[in-house]
């Protein structure tokens, strides 16, 4: 009989029922943690693997801060070898047209107006430009822009599609963008579009060509579109050709990809913002390209070879273990952004990372880069965070992927200091579609995920204040 209290305690923990979970649709899986560095207030399924989505960027940010200097900057060099030029790309996710133009202007300033060949050296990275497990159906949109050494203009281009009077559509592309967009999509009323069960669909082909099909709801104004560059070399080659003409530099040969030994004379160098600013943008805007190019850079720096998704994600694990003692060996990482559906992490893993950040933030300065609920970044307009007391009292990283709605971060007191941490992993979230009325509208009610979040975040705040959680 002396073992009975222990048995009862185990059963009580295993049968814990957290009421807000009833708000989520049938089949949803959830892992939740509320804790301080000293103790855990709530741990539900915290050792099960879940897709972290963009909360993974917190781990990428920590690895980058531990491995790279605060003054680390991506750099792009232009060098001269006789009458030839070499442009060394290192995956700067912030490099734009204007930066490349300045490098070419420096070439002309040195008197080079005739160039035989231009070599684009992309040897800083190797392997796939897209992570294993990136969904094929979103590869054409900018948040899945390829993570490549040759990165220009966010590897993202803009266009638009408009409704025409005959029920068809037309497209527009700015003149300076070397892409081609066509459409045979139809333009329908909202009711007709829902009746036909069709959407606007995008396919891509060689040479950065994009084709839109299916249908869209008739619009009075053009619908802005953002496409991920599919061929980074072709895009940069076309941009370079235009910039050379604008600078009055004649190219007598070709622009080609080539690994060139460091034997040229440096003409000019462009540097990105320092690491802290890159991480701030990555976390507040959930920038996938910065996260994935940083991941490949970590692989290059840690293993002293061309960076890739494979060695970059392994570097993240080893860097964090060597510096913090947190073992992520069972985590499955396919990228650093969280975009891959193959990524898997436990809430316990994230809890340990958040604890380390909290306890060492005097040196890391990472918490300040996280969005604040209802006020900044990706949390500014989140429907579960717009009202008091949640607004302004959580600082966290969100993560959304097909069927996953995640959050990981901290509770803030009135002085904006952390008082608790929390992890929310929700996956297999597939609510039943609401019926539409004769006007094609659906009832305007708060989605189940946001109803759940409102209650969970209220409990997170109560826990941070020392109140008991409801069962």
- The C-alpha atoms of residue 193 and residue 464 are separated, in whole angstroms, by 48
Instruction: With a cut of 50, say whether residue 13 has pLDDT above it.
Output: no
What residue ranges do the domains of the chain occupy? 16-52+344-471, 75-128+232-271, 153-228
Instruction: Give 372's contacts (C-beta < 8 A, 6+ positions apart).
Output: 379, 392, 394, 395, 412
Question: What pLDDT does residue 8 have?
Answer: 28
Q: Check 31, 54, 163, 373 and give the catalytic one.
A: 54
Residue 255 DSSP code: E
| Per-residue pLDDT at 4 exceeds 90 | no
pLDDT tens profile 278-334:
999 999 999 999 999 999 999 999 999 999 999 999 999 999 999 999 999 999 999
Q: Does the structure show a pLDDT above 90 at 438?
A: no
pLDDT at 468: 66
Binned at pLDDT 50, 70 and 90, residue 259 comes out as very high
Q: Would you state the pLDDT for residue 11?
A: 30
Strands 75-81 and 209-217: what pairing? unpaired
pLDDT at position 2 is: 30
Tell me the average pLDDT of the chain. Answer: 93
Q: Is 57 a catalytic residue?
A: yes
H helix intervals, 260-368 = 275-285, 288-303, 309-324, 347-359, 361-364
Which of 31-40, 75-84, 247-256 has the lowest average pLDDT? 31-40
DSSP β-bridge partners for residue 33? 43, 423
- pLDDT digit string, tens, across residues 336-393: 999 999 999 999 999 999 999 999 999 999 999 999 999 999 999 999 999 999 999 9
Q: List 405's β-bridge partners, or say none.
A: 400, 426
The token pair that represents 41 in the structure block? 């207030």
Closest residue by Cα to residue 161 from 198, 206, 197, 214: 214
pTM of the model: 0.93
The verdict on whether 226 is a catalytic residue reads no
Residue 7 has pLDDT above 50, yes or no: no
Q: Contact, 377 vs 284, CB < 8 A?
A: yes
Phi, psi of 50 (to 5 degrees): -135, 155
> Is 400 one of the annotated active-site residues of the chain?
no
Intra-chain end-to-end CA distance of the chain, in Å:
28
> Could you tell me the pLDDT band of residue 118, with boundaries at 50, 70 and 90?
very high
- Asked if residues 233 and 257 have their Cβ atoms less than 8 Å apart, the reply is yes
Residue 38 CB burial class (10 angstroms; 0-12, 13-18, ≥19): exposed
Choose the catalytic residue: 28, 148, 163, 286: 286
Burial of residue 405 (CB within 10 Å: 0-12, 13-18, 19+) is: buried
For residue 465, the model assigns a pLDDT of 83
Please choose, from the candidates 463, 453, 468, the residue with its C-alpha nearest in 3D space to the C-alpha of residue 28: 453
pLDDT of 448 strictly over 80: yes
The answer to whether the beta carbons of residues 63 and 316 sit under 8 Å apart is: yes
Q: Confidence class of residue 436 from pLDDT cuts 50, 70 and 90?
A: low
Tokens of 244: 């050379």
Task: Work out the pLDDT band at 6, boundaries 50, 70, 90.
Answer: very low
- Whether 15 has a pLDDT exceeding 60, the answer reads no
- pLDDT on residue 442: 63
Look up the CATH number of domain 16-52+344-471.
3.40.710.10
> Which listed residue (57, 237, 284, 397) is catalytic?
57
Q: What is the per-residue pLDDT for 270?
A: 98
- 406-433 mean pLDDT: 95
- pLDDT at position 142 over 90: yes
Using only the alpha carbons of the chain, give its radius of gyration.
25
462 three-class SS: helix
Position 5 scores a pLDDT of: 31
Q: Measure the CA–CA gap between 120 and 150, rounded to whole angstroms.
A: 8
pLDDT confidence bin for 38, thresholds 50/70/90: confident
Query: Is a pLDDT exceeding 90 seen at residue 12?
Result: no
Kindly report the length of the chain. Answer: 471
Could you please state the CATH topology (level 3) that the domain comprising 75-128+232-271 is classified under: 3.50.80
307 φ/ψ angles, rounded to the nearest 5 degrees: -75, 150
pLDDT in tens, 43-71: 999 999 999 999 999 999 999 999 999 99
């Amino acid at each position: 009989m002396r073992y009975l209290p222990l048995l009862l305690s185990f059963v009580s923990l295993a049968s814990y029922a957290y009421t807000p979970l009833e708000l989520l649709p049938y089949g949803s899986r959830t892992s939740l943690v509320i804790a301080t560095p000293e103790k855990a207030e709530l741990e539900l399924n915290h050792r099960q693997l879940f897709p972290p989505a963009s909360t993974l960027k917190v781990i990428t940010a920590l690895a980058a801060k531990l491995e790279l200097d605060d003054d680390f900057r991506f750099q792009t060099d232009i060098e001269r070898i006789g009458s030839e030029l070499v442009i060394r790309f290192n995956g700067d996710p912030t490099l734009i047209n204007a930066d490349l133009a300045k490098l070419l202007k420096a070439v002309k300033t040195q008197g080079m107006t005739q160039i035989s060949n231009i070599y684009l050296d992309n040897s800083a990275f190797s392997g796939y430009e897209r992570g294993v497990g990136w969904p094929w159906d979103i590869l054409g949109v900018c948040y899945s822009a390829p993570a490549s050494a040759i990165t220009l203009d966010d590897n993202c281009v803009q266009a638009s599609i408009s409704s025409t009077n005959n029920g068809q559509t037309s497209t527009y592309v700015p003149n300076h963008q070397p892409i081609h967009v066509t459409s045979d999509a139809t333009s329908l009323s909202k009711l007709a579009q829902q009746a036909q069960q069709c959407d606007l669909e995008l396919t891509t082909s060689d040479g950065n060509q994009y084709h839109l099909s299916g249908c869209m709801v008739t619009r009075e104004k053009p619908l802005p579109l953002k496409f991920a560059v599919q061929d980074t070399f072709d895009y940069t080659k076309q941009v370079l050709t235009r910039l050379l003409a604008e600078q009055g530099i004649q190219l007598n040969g070709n622009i080609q990809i080539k690994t060139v030994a460091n034997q040229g004379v440096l003409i000019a160098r462009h540097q990105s913002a320092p690491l802290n600013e890159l991480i701030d943008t990555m976390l507040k805007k959930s920038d996938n390209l910065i996260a994935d190019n940083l991941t490949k850079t970590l692989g290059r720096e840690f293993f002293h070879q061309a960076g890739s998704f494979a060695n970059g994600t392994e570097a993240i694990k080893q860097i964090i273990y060597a510096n913090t003692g947190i073992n992520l060996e069972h985590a499955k990482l396919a990228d650093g952004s969280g975009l891959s559906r193959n990524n898997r992490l436990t809430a316990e893993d994230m809890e340990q990372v958040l604890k380390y950040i909290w306890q060492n933030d005097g040196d890391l300065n990472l918490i300040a880069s996280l969005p604040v609920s209802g006020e900044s970044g990706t949390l500014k307009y989140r429907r579960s965070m717009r009202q008091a007391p949640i607004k302004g009292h959580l600082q966290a990283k969100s993560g959304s992927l097909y069927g996953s709605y995640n959050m990981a971060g901290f509770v803030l007191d009135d002085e904006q200091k952390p008082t608790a941490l929390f992890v929310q992993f929700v996956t297999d979230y597939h609510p039943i579609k609401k019926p539409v009325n004769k006007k094609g509208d659906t009832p305007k009610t708060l989605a189940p995920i946001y109803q759940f979040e409102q209650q969970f975040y209220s409990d997170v705040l109560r826990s941070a204040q020392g109140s008991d959680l409801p069962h």
